[in-house]
Amino acid sequence: MQEPPLGGLSPQAFLRDYWQRRPLLVRGALPAHRGVIATRALFALAARDDVESRLIEGRRGRWRVTPGPITAARLARAGARGWTLLVNGVDHHAAAAEHLLRRFAFLSEARLDDVMVSYAAPGGGVGPHFDSYDVFLIQGAGSRIWRLSSKKAFECEPQAPLRLIRDFVPDEEYLLEPGDLLYLPPGWGHDGVALDPCLTASIGFRAPRAAELSAAFLDYLHERGFRDAEYGDRGRRPSARPARIDAALLGFAAARLAGIRWRRADVAEFLGRELSTPRLGVVFRGRRRPRRLPRAGDVVLDPRTRALYRGASFFINGEALRPPPAQRAALAVLADRRRAAAGALARAGLQRIVLDWVRDGYAHLERRR
């Protein structure tokens, strides 16, 4: 596993001094880096209906957002200046992008989201805004000016189609050139403007909010079966105040809801399933199931696959399994490194399940050269 591109700064020092505290600029973090995907290939992805993309155009302080697919003809109509094309999930389609994403795995697979790549024409950007999650911005071809403002209670433009900061006043300014990296904690205002045609990769992180987790957890509990009960009120008397909610009905609801119980183990399984579920729209391409794992070769997880574990439980793409103790070490290697020797997995007794993953498109077989 390669070191993260932090300019010689150790992961420990980065987490102690910068993570969710203050920005970090690293000059030449990726020497000779020109991007994780060619411009033409990025445009081709944006034109697909199975890839999330947006075209953002800014003219004289007015903004327009066009959701994908974005065709070449639509890009031609955008003109020579003042627009940005955003393409999400590029790591699912470009090996270089997936490789770059994994260099940040020291921050936990459960938190990694995807690689978004933007192509900006000269003067292009998405306006001054802030994100609710951490982000690493890595400059490919071209150059871009970034203006930053420290975290505060920003006021947003009420009429803008994007969450843009009103009356943005930057505190600092940086010019990013090919191979430079800029880390921004959540809540920091930033505005990036391309000086010439440029590519920028954004490493985004999952940051589920408590309300979202609560709603999803209740759905999870419901799927596993709440103890059901029907309300009855035999022997009730006529209502003198028909619009008033009966005390008996309120008591019934309170008693049933108070009966909802869960353990820490339930939360752990829910979290594993939830965080390993691929983002909406991800489709796996299955293949014919091989008869056996090769003796000389590796099992490699598909870029779309999310694999996590906690204790004896393993989670892959929203599915949970509890393998016997003899299989856990080999599975943990596959999840952590995203590849493992096929022979080691077979010796651990995992041949059947791994071959099923290959059939479903969750993993691929790669012969050693």
Q: What residues does each domain of the chain span? A: 11-205, 210-262, 297-367
Q: How far is CA 224 from CA 38, 308, 323, in A?
A: 46, 21, 21
Question: CA–CA separation, 114 vs 279, rounded Å?
Answer: 10
Question: CA–CA separation, 203 vs 57, rounded Å?
Answer: 22
Low-confidence residues of the chain: pLDDT under 50? none
Question: CA–CA separation, 343 vs 298, rounded Å?
Answer: 8
**Tokens (6 digits) for 37:** 């995907």
- The amino acid that residue 281 corresponds to is G
Show the beta-strand stretches assigned E in 71-164: 83-87, 112-120, 135-139, 144-149
Tell me which fold the domain 297-367 belongs to: Malonyl-Coenzyme A Acyl Carrier Protein; domain 2 (3.40.366)
Contact between 355 and 289 under an 8 Å Cβ cutoff? The reply is yes
Residue 94 phi/psi, 5-degree rounding, is -125, 120
Q: What is the CA radius of gyration of the chain?
A: 25
- The dihedral of CA 146, 152, 157, 161: what is its sign? positive
Element (H, E) at 341: strand 339-341
Show the beta-strand stretches assigned E in 60-151: 62-67, 83-87, 112-120, 135-139, 144-149
Q: Is 266 helix (H, G, I), strand (E, B) or coil?
A: helix
Predicted local confidence at residue 255, as pLDDT: 87
CB atoms within 10 A of CB 234: 4
Peptide bond into 303 cis (omega under 30): no
Q: From edge to edge, which strands make up the β-sheet containing 313-316?
A: 307-310, 313-316, 319-321
Question: CA–CA separation, 193 vs 201, rounded Å?
Answer: 14
Q: What's the pTM value of the predicted model, to 2 decimals?
A: 0.88
Q: How far is CA 97 from CA 26, 89, 91, 139, 355, in A?
A: 19, 9, 5, 13, 26
Pick from 21, 27, 23: which is nearest to 7 by CA?
27
Predicted local confidence at residue 369, as pLDDT: 66
CATH tag for 11-205 (out of 2.60.120.650, 1.10.3470.10, 3.40.1390.10, 1.10.287.3510): 2.60.120.650
